[in-house]
Structure 1
């Protein structure tokens, strides 16, 4: 079978280009453009809605373009072009074509809009930055909660120490009560002896009366002290219970914030993966 001449081969490619690529463009999920060249000039062009370059059929191939590089090196060349070049950012992929004899026949170029990539890349960057800030904040909160739990533990120990010291006052109160009781007995005995002594024991009776008053006053004071100490013990016990609950809540908060920080780490990793995927678009 006779091989087609280069011009015939290019006409076949142009016919296929004009027949198939508009359909591909319609079903492609991103905005794309297509261009077909021979070894010297453009032969067909299908602009996208936003991705477009100022060209016309028979326009020469730019000397330092990806198309010229693909022809010279006979390999697929990709490049990202910013908005400053043609007004919209897109990724250019130029694939060299060979004729039936294996010689360079031209280049098929695909231009893919980078608009979605830029949006996705910006969102990923913002997500990475936000997750980093949240991660730092949660680490700080977790550390604060841990420190708070430690401080509460110290307060709890102090409260328990105070309760222990207060219990030592029981011996002092017991001694005061014993003194009071003995003083009362001493006053009663002194009154009896004063009564037996008659007129000569009158002064002794006054002393006995004062001893009884002192004993009653000591007993009343002991009861008041006992009540006060009991109240203090109850309040300290309530404080101890409250501190215990606060310590448990602080520990729970520290654990919860550490879990949040771990989630933020995963979120940051996901943001990096999104950026990697965006670069493939």
Structure 2
């Protein structure tokens, strides 16, 4: 859509301004031509803008937009303090964003462009456009940005916790491996004790046989041999119980190792998923920023 300056410039070309008339007549002709052209421009632009043209004191053309109607009457005086009056007083372009919806129901932006002819101020062109959609876009962008910030903070927290869980899992896994090695070494020690118990029992049997051969002279040695056998039996029984306990412990350690491996795998997958979600949040945040820039009105 062409800007107001471009529209006014095109209108100036149509007028063909090399007239040899007095200044007042020339101004009237120029502004009258603008009033003739702008209904066509309004139709071409789909009545998106409310257009008002004034001379130095009053409005001489008014066309409402499809969204706004200020109900300005023909020859209605320009109100003091309005954008049109400020443009006439300063002879400079005036742009104002009106956010108060009390009067017309929607926010709008006003652009008042002073009209000069051969260096002389002759009037003002004021264009007004509602900015409700832009404001809604900015509001949506702001809310989206806030939501993305909160989500990103949450995702960062979850990611950090996941990393801690992964680290803890690795430490537990290492401890389980050490425990498994300890079980193996303990099993080897118990096996050695079991062998010593068996050898001691055999030694007791041999001693008992030799004591029986010695007759009366070996009677005291028989008591010692039986005690050795009893100790060997007790050692053997204890060794078997220890073996059973170590066997159960070994099974439990293997189960723990398997569960830790599964947990470690799940933790890595979770961390990867969280990272992907964080990347998506960052992308949405960038889109939110771009949306806010698109909705911003200079």
Question: Shared topology, TM-score over 0.5?
Answer: yes
Q: In terms of mean alpha carbon deviation, does 262-271 or 53-62 score higher?
A: 262-271
Give 2:39's match in structure 1, choosing from 1, 11, 18.
Answer: 18
- 1:92 matched to 2:110? The reply is yes
Partner in structure 2 of residue 161 of structure 1: 178
- 1:114 matched to 2:131? The reply is yes
The CA deviation at 1:37 is 1.4
Partner in structure 1 of residue 199 of structure 2: 182
The CA deviation at 1:16 is 1.2
Judge conservation of contact 1:138–1:257 (CA < 8 Å) in 2. yes
- 1:39 matched to 2:60? The reply is no
Q: Structure 1: how far apart are the matches of 2:201 and 2:87?
A: 119
The CA deviation at 1:135 is 0.5
Q: In terms of mean alpha carbon deviation, does 129-138 or 65-74 score higher?
A: 65-74
Partner in structure 2 of residue 126 of structure 1: 143
Q: Which has the higher contact order (CA 8 A, sep 6+)?
A: 1
The CA deviation at 1:88 is 2.1
**CA RMSD for the aligned pairs?**
2.7
Q: In terms of mean alpha carbon deviation, does 259-268 or 38-47 score higher?
A: 259-268
Superposed CA deviations along residues 121-165 of structure 1, whole A, max 9, x for unmatched, are 111111011001101100110111111112222212222222233
Q: Structure 2: how far apart are the matches of 1:263 and 1:152?
A: 27
Partner in structure 2 of residue 226 of structure 1: 243
The CA deviation at 1:255 is 4.0
Judge conservation of contact 2:187–2:246 (CA < 8 Å) in 1. no
* SS of equivalent to 2:96: strand
Q: Structure 2: how far apart are the matches of 1:202 and 1:92?
A: 127
Q: Structure 2: how far apart are the matches of 1:196 and 1:189?
A: 11
The CA deviation at 1:204 is 5.5
Q: Structure 2: how far apart are the matches of 1:86 and 1:102?
A: 36
Judge conservation of contact 1:135–1:265 (CA < 8 Å) in 2. yes
* SS of equivalent to 2:52: strand
Judge conservation of contact 2:95–2:112 (CA < 8 Å) in 1. yes
Alignment size in residue pairs: 276
Q: Structure 2: how far apart are the matches of 1:171 and 1:87?
A: 89
Superposed CA deviations along residues 11-59 of structure 1, whole A, max 9, x for unmatched, are 2211112333133235xxxx43111212211111111233222421111
Partner in structure 2 of residue 6 of structure 1: 27
Give 2:233's match in structure 1, choosing from 212, 216, 227.
Answer: 216
Give the unaligned 5+ runs of structure 2.
1-17
Judge conservation of contact 2:169–2:264 (CA < 8 Å) in 1. yes
Superposed CA deviations along residues 33-91 of structure 1, whole A, max 9, x for unmatched, are 11121221111111123322242111111222221222333332211112135432111
Q: In terms of mean alpha carbon deviation, does 185-194 or 140-149 score higher?
A: 185-194
